[in-house]
Structure 1
Amino acid sequence: MSESDTELAKDLGLVSAMTIGIGTMIGAGIFVLPGVAAQEAGPIVVASFVVGGVIAMVNALSISEIGTAMPKAGGGYYYVNRSLGPVFGSIAGMGDWMGLAFASAFYSIGFGQYLTTLAPIPGVLFLNDIQIGALIAGGLFVGVNYIGAKETGNVQTIIVTILLAILTVLAAVGIFSFDWGTVVGDGGLAPMGYGQILPGTALVFVSFLGYAKIATVGEELKNPGKNLPRAIIGSVAIVTVIYAIIVGLMVGVVPWPELSQEAPVAQVAETVFPESVLGVGGVAAGAATAMTLGALLATASSANASILASARINFAMGRDRIVTDWLNEIHPNYSTPYRSIVLTGGMILFFIAALGRDIETLAKAASVLHLIVYALMNVALIVFREFDPDYDPQFRVPLYPITPAVGAVLSLGLVAFMAPKEILISGGFVVFAVVWYFVYARARTPLEGVLSTHIRSEESDVPDSVVSAADTVAPNGDAGPTIMVALSNPQTEKSLMRLGCAMASAQDGRLLATHVVTVPDQTSLARAREEHVERASEQLFAQAREDAGGYDVPVETVSILSHRGFTEVFDAAREHDVDTLIMGRGDHLAEGRAERTVDEIAHDLPCDVLVFDGDQFEPDRVLVPTAGGPSSDLSAAVVAALEERAGSEVTLLHVADNEDDGRAFLDSWTEAHDLGDARSVVETGSFEDALERHAQDATLIVVGATEEGLLSRLVSGSLVFDALEDLDVPVLLAEKAHERSLWERLFG
């Protein structure tokens, strides 16, 4: 149903970003696949890894450009959906999601293979020992994600450092055992022909998945225009060199037909390290054990990261209404999208059980689905460049449009070297994604891609068949407004969330709950993040999600670290393109208005604003004093939503000098705002007296904000607000966003 996020200062450096990419790629690929791939290509398998790196590098260039244009966007799904539209977005989202599930199953099998070298595991029924170990590992990884444990940036850096150290030691010691005669053997470099290089690449390409993950942290990256492409391209280059060195070493130490298909790194370590050093025995066995532990660490890290990433893809698709947001329901205790994790985990365990004996199928299926997404991302880049006037990347791929075109061709071309089995499995998911879009998503998602928008705008110059195709796949959902609730006090959280959910539900919109965590000026935001200061929001958000559970509205939560405190809320409303902001009243609010005094002179409101002043939100009997004006339109929209979603009894109150004139005004106002079921009351005389009489039976008062200006209120106060202050009834102050001149801000 929801997802939490934290908006941060840009505090990730180049090294940290490269660590993310390297750590994601160095997993089961290098620790498991060399032996399997060598049986398919022979010692020329080294070239298969290099070719895989070249294809990844071309795609990395395109991903780098799009990433610098959209540093807050995460994943191929987002780019493809915004560029090519939701039908291709559905394919990309499904491809990413299922590709990660296959990859996680593959990593789990790799974990199981090394685990069985350390401890005997019995087979059960039709499952062998490796599958049982993989199921145990997969279940553990799913459980870790379910309860919310995850790797921090520091842990990821430590893991990468350990893995690189292990592989460096292996290379340094193994170089002395390298023998060219072992490489060429009896059949030469390519005993099965050089044509096996690309089939080998198709098998090992899973080893290069993950570099695109760097783009998902673009929001936190310092100077993303330079550091993001450097991190993506640099991580691919470093990993390609590491693969070439380690795999070349393997086939030069152990004859390729004898290279282990289950634990090749441990086998090579046991071969190159001496049995004893300075009289101390067991060195080779100890080295093999160290390599095994490194393999377990690498496969566990990659599997865990893949499951975590899949939940974020589901959230993005749920936010865009490609899939049901029910899938993103947040656990009340663990604050994780448990339904998404359980569904993804179930598929991972199924793949392990059904396909675990054929690790090639898992690896290639993961690669096919990701290659399809990479091809679509390259096409998306071309569409952005040609048809989106707002597209402004800080990094541009060289040799455009040749580079993205080549990336798309290489990605789809590599798919042709997969076995029919993997193509059929992956193609089935692509077909399912298209069917799902037309059956479910098309009627719900409101987003239209850049390509479709361009075709419609140039309809007279575009062939009719193209326009017809665009119309056929065009979405016809309704976006609805964004209602933002600014949470700060646990005592008022329930009231604000009930109001926000009622508004979002009545208008078919979404709800964005925010919490500003104020960081002292003496503490950097980066340091505050490292100390997990934003955890102060977790309990507040957990209760907010629980309170929103009875409403069928998508809920997103954002924790904001800031030195400026509550004023950050207005910037967040602007940034997230909010339609209505709901917050509680406090000392930070100017008298009778939603803005701070200084902000009132300098700025207009970013959106419509509702300010709740009270302890309990009980909309059973709502009193609405009105005299017209822009903010009364917002008051009417609020009470209409409360009538529909909360069953409120509404009384409209208008105080006039003449009863007939007052009745004519109120009847006209009621009809204009479709509040015919409300009770209308016209009074003459004192506004304060009329308000006090009718407020006695009300549980909530909804009133439009005063139009009096700052200086006017400083001199004489606000008549409406002063009257409301004396009542023991919760008040909801509504202020409509509208432009005001400096004179109006000062004098009303």
Structure 2
Amino acid sequence: MSGSAPAAGPTSGSQIGWRRVLRRKPVSMLNAESGADTGGGELRRSIGVGRLTMIGVGSTIGTGIFIVLNEAVPKAGPAVVVSFVLAAITAALTALCYAELASTIPVAGASYTYAYATLGEIVAYVVGACLLLEYGVAASAVAVGWGEYLNALLGDVFGWQLPAEFSAPPGEGGVLNVPAAVLVTACCLLLVRGAKESATINAITVCIKLAVLLLFVAVALTAFNAEHTQPFAPFGVTGIGTAASMVFFSYIGMDTVSTAGEEVRDPRRTLPLAIFWCIAIVTTVYILVAVAGIGAQPWQAFEGQDAGLATILGNLTGSGWPAIVLAAGGVVSIFGVTLTTIYGQTRILFSMGRDGMVPKVFHNVHPKRRTPVRNTLIVSAFVGLLAAVVPLSTLANLTSMGTLVAFTVVSIGVVVLRRTRPDLQRGFRVPGYPVVPALSIAACIYLITQLPWETYLMFAVWLALAMILYFTYGIRHSRLAGDDTAAFGTSQQ
């Protein structure tokens, strides 16, 4: 349907309403706002391929891989390796779609922005809500566990620990999680200083935790026993699928790369490269850890095993140093993940603020530092408060749902933009189109079906709250308000 003015005649209120909620933001406007084609923009472009790749790896490889084998192996047995491969395929298919959209619309906001350009305003708002759920709850949930790893490290090295009341998660023996609040404050101060400085510190933390995981692989492979892989799939295809949905949590975060679209140099080239390197590094490390862990001990031993990888290393070496190394790795890992997830959330809110979907305070940029300082302070305060006083074990399950919904929308967006704007400049094109986007959508939907029903209920409540905010604030303050001719018009893209 063209973007020409509608024919004269009466227009029903319902038609006007639908045109308002389905209006799309032209790609030309998005690129002009971010300076994508001029190298300018409101945020400082200071990040290259290396640092951007480390942001993706840092956000993806968190504490999950340190403990996920204990949860996934009892579900699939040695075939958990296949589960990791299935999850990796799902992430890789989606990564290809992210790479095309990121090279076509290299702006902040990730899948929220892509949805705004392809599927309309109300869909973009839903995706934005999903991303805020992914980043906000994930950052809080990860920060909650920092006190546990810090205490483990202090106990192993100094024989002293913080009181449980001020270091354990609320509801699990703790009253006020002080380490979590300190962690979020440190991340906030670093992000306020600048994106380049934050990316540098993150790259250092990534190198440390990769070294810790590769140390585990090297030691565990020396004790590899092929008998531990039998029977390979004791719970069949069902067990492999259940474990795949579980370990997919460990791949959440790779989309953080695309939230930095306005702070990278040569974004049409840098964004796709960083996404590919992120997936390659993460997948390689995860599969190596899974193979080494399965070969090092019988699969039945994983159930109920505390401390995950540290316990395996301790059993193999007969020494206490592995616990110290793994605890240190956990402390560093959580810092890196918290830093990058808070960063991702601030950049999504930055884009939503520019569009009028949320208050303008989230879009304000410091004139000297060229970072969204007030945005960062507000997000950090919210994340820190949740981490310090709220038990998040239940809410943490929602992060996977929000991420999978966002991933699905990105894959749909590739198809829509190929059909509506085949002429757009693309730094990368998804190979095997349209099969790859279709497979990505199918894989995401399959993993969504594996989630418990309680997650669906909580997700529905979250979306209801998002819709209330959209219809009471977003639709009235949208920068596209009054431009109803853009609702369905592809020519305005």
TM-score, normalising length: structure 1: 0.53
Aligned equivalent of 1:140: 182
1:271 paired with 2:315, answer yes
1:454 Cα deviation after fit: 7.0
CA deviation after TM superposition for structure 1 residue 182, in Å: 2.8
Counterpart Cα distance in 1 of 2:484 and 2:291: 45
Shift in CA distance, 308/456, structure 1 to aligned 2, threshold 3 Å: closer
Unaligned runs of 5+ in 2: 1-40, 156-160
C-alpha distance in 1 between matches for 2:144 and 2:232: 29
Q: How far apart, in 2, do the equivalents of 1:443 and 1:104 lie?
A: 30
Deviation at 1:24, TM superposition (A): 1.8
Superposition pairs of residues 451-466 of structure 1, within 5 angstroms? 453=486, 455=488
Shift of 1:98: 1.1
| 1:243 has 2:279 as partner | no
Equivalent position amino acid for 1:343 in 2 = F
Cα offset, 1:290, TM superposition: 1.1
Kept after mapping to 2: 8 A contact 1:45/1:200: yes
- Equivalenced residues, count: 435
Asked whether 1:424 is paired with 2:463, we answer no
- Are positions 1:321 and 2:360 aligned together? no
C-alpha deviations, 1:23-63, integer Å up to 9, x for none? 22111121122212223333322222211111000000010
Q: 2:147 touches 2:180 (CA, 8 Å); kept in 1?
A: no
Contact 2:73 2:80 in 1 (8 A): yes
Output the CA distance in 2 between the equivalents of 1:131 and 1:84: 46
Distance between the aligned counterparts of 1:267 and 1:177, measured in 2? 14
Q: Is the 8 A contact 1:28 1:299 kept in 2?
A: yes
Give the whole-Å Cα distance in 1 for the aligned partners of 2:185 and 2:232. 45
* From 51, 54, 58, the counterpart of 1:16: 51
Tell me which residue corresponds to 1:288: 323
- Contact 2:43/2:263, CA 8 A, preserved across alignment: no
Deviations 1:256-313 (A, max 9, x none): 343365521211221233x4xxxxxxxx312321121011111121022212321222
Residue pair 1:115, 1:133 contacting (<8 A) in 2 also: no
Correspondence 1:171 to 2:200:
no
Alignment partner, residue 646 of structure 1: none
Asked if 1 retains the 8 angstrom alpha-carbon contact of 2:141 and 2:392, the reply is no
Distance between the aligned counterparts of 2:445 and 2:485, measured in 1?
23
Equivalence for 2:228: 182
Deviations 1:137-181 (A, max 9, x none): 331233224443675333222222222222222212221112222
Do 1:139 and 1:349's aligned partners in 2 also have CA atoms closer than 8 Å? yes
Per mean C-alpha deviation after superposition, the further-off stretch among 74-83 and 62-71 is 74-83
| Distance in 1 of aligned mates of 2:268 and 2:96 | 13
Deviation at 1:382, TM superposition (A): 1.6
The residue type paired with residue 307 of structure 1 is: I
Give the counterpart of 2:135 among 77, 97, 100. 100
C-alpha change, 1:411 and 1:349, in structure 2 (3 Å) is farther
Q: Which residue of 1 aligns with 2:152?
A: 117
**In structure 2, what residue type is equivalent to 1:142?**
V
2:120–2:487 Cα contact (<8 Å) kept:
no
Relative distance call for 1:129 and 1:89 in structure 2 (3 A) is: closer
- Report the CA distance between 1:64 and its aligned residue: 0.3
CA RMSD of aligned residues (A): 3.3
Q: What one-letter code is carried by the residue in structure 1 that aligns with 2:204?
A: I
- For the 8 Å contact 2:178–2:388, the answer to whether it is kept is no
- Is residue 2:69 matched to residue 1:34? yes
Give matches, 1:411-560, under 5 Å: 411-447=444-480, 453=486, 455=488
Please give the residue correspondences for 1:25-64 in structure 2 after superposition, counting only pairs within 5 Å: 25-64=60-99
Q: What does 1:571-720 correspond to in 2, within 5 Å?
A: none
For 2:102, the equivalent position in structure 1 comes to: 67
Other-structure match for 1:401: 434
How far does residue 226 in structure 1 lie from its aligned partner after superposition? Answer: 4.3
Tell me the residue number matched to 1:509.
none
Given that residues 133 and 399 in structure 2 are in contact (C-alpha distance below 8 angstroms), is that contact kept between their aligned partners in structure 1? yes
CA distance in 1: counterparts of 2:271 and 2:366, whole angstroms:
33
Change (3 A) 1:340 1:23: closer
Correspondence for 2:198: 152
Indicate how the Cα distance of structure 1 residues 159 and 354 shifts in structure 2: closer, same or farther if over 3 A, else same.
Answer: closer
Write out per-residue CA displacement over residues 568-625 of structure 1, whole angstroms, 9 at most, x where no aligned residue.
xxxxxxxxxxxxxxxxxxxxxxxxxxxxxxxxxxxxxxxxxxxxxxxxxxxxxxxxxx
State the 1:331 CA deviation. 9.7
SS of corresponding position for 1:200: helix
Residue equivalent to 1:193: 236
Give the percent of matched residue pairs that are identical in Structure 1 and Structure 2: 26
* 8 A Cα contact 2:228 2:296, kept in partner: yes
1:374 positional shift: 0.9
Task: Specify which of 189, 200, 205 is matched with residue 248 of structure 2.
Answer: 205
| 8 Å contact from structure 1 (residues 113, 263) kept in 2 | no
Supply the distance in 2 between the matched residues of 1:161 and 1:130 (Cα, whole angstroms): 32
Query: Does the CA-based 8 Å contact 1:122-1:128 persist in structure 2?
Result: no
CA distance in 2, matches of 1:210, 1:133: 29
The answer for the alignment partner of 2:24 in structure 1 is none
The answer on whether the counterparts of 2:43 and 2:262 sit within 8 Å (CA) in structure 1 is: no
